[in-house]
Amino acid sequence: MAETSEAKGPRHVAVIMDGNGRWAQMRGRPRLFGHHAGAKRVREVVEACPALGVKYLTVFAFSTENWKRTQTEVAGLMKLFRRYIEKEQRALVEAGVRVRFIGDRVKLEDKLVALMDELELLTAGNDLIHLTIAINYGGRNEVTRAAKRMAFEVQAGRLRPEDVDAETLARFLDTHVLPDPDLVIRTSGEARISNFLLWQSAYSEYEFVETLWPDFTAEEFGKIVKSYAARDRRFGAVRV
C-alpha cells in the first residue's frame, strides 16, 4: 500500500503559523510588527519545499475566530494580506508556485478578494509547489458550508442522500483538489489545532515546536520534514 511506504517524505505539509504576537511583545513592539515579521518567513519555507519533496504547503494565516481580536489588529492583518499579495505576486508566478486560498470569502473585503482571485488566476498554470493560504478559515465553518451546499444539491435533485459518503463530502470542501496533509506543524508551543483542517487532518502526523513563527527558519522546517520519514503511519491497521 502506498500509504505505508517507508522513508518517504511528506507530500503535503500544513503549518499553523503561531506566535507572532508574543514575538512582538517580547520586543516591546505592537502585535502587528510580529505579523509583518511572520509574513516574511513564508517565502523561505515555500522555497525550501521542492528540495524536500514537499509538493503541497498549506499555511494558516487567519482563522474564523481571529475576528475576535481588536479592530486595529484585524484591519492591520487585512492590509498586510493585501500588501503581501501585491508584493509577492510576481515572485510567486516566476517561481512556479500555484497559489490557492481556502476559507470563507464572504466576510472578507472586496479589495482583498479581488487580489486573491487574481493571484489564483495568475498562478493557475504553475505546478512546482502548490501553496494554499487559509484566510478566514475554520474547519467547522468549512464543513458546515460543504454540508449546506450538499443539501442544496440534494434539494435540486442532483444528489441522492443515499449516495452521500465521506468522498462526497470531501468534494464540497474548500480543499477538494488537495491531498490530505501528511504532516501538520504548529509553532509557538501551543499543542492544539485551533479549528485548522479538522476533516483533512484525521490521520495527519503532528509536530508542535516551541519556536515562535517569526523565528522559524527553512532549516528547522527541513529538520521536521526529514524526521517525518521515521514515523510509522498505520491508518488504523496493524503493521505486519
Among 58, 64, 123, 188, binds ligand IPE (CB under 6 A): 188
Q: Rounded to the nearest whole angstrom, what is the least distance from the CB of residue 148 to ligand IPE in the complex?
A: 23
Q: Which is nearer to Mg ion, 182 or 207 (CB)?
A: 207
Contact 183, 13 (CB under 8 A): yes
Helix or strand or coil: residue 131?
strand
Q: Does 142 bind Mg ion (CB under 5 A)?
A: no
Q: In this complex, which beta carbon is closest to Mg ion, that of residue 22 or of residue 145?
A: 22
The CA-based angle 172-86-92, given to 5 degrees, is: 70
Interface map 17-36 toward Mg ion (x if CB under 5 A): -x------------------
Question: Binding residues for ligand IPE, how many (CB under 6 A)?
Answer: 18
183 lies in the site for ligand IPE, by CB under 6 A: no
Binding mask 55-94 for ligand IPE (x = CB under 6 A): -----xxxx-xx----------x-----------------
The DSSP code sequence of 173-232 is STTTTSPPPSEEEE-TT----TTSSTTTTTT-EEEE--S-GGG--HHHHHHHHHHHTT--
DSSP state for residue 66 in the 8-state scheme: G
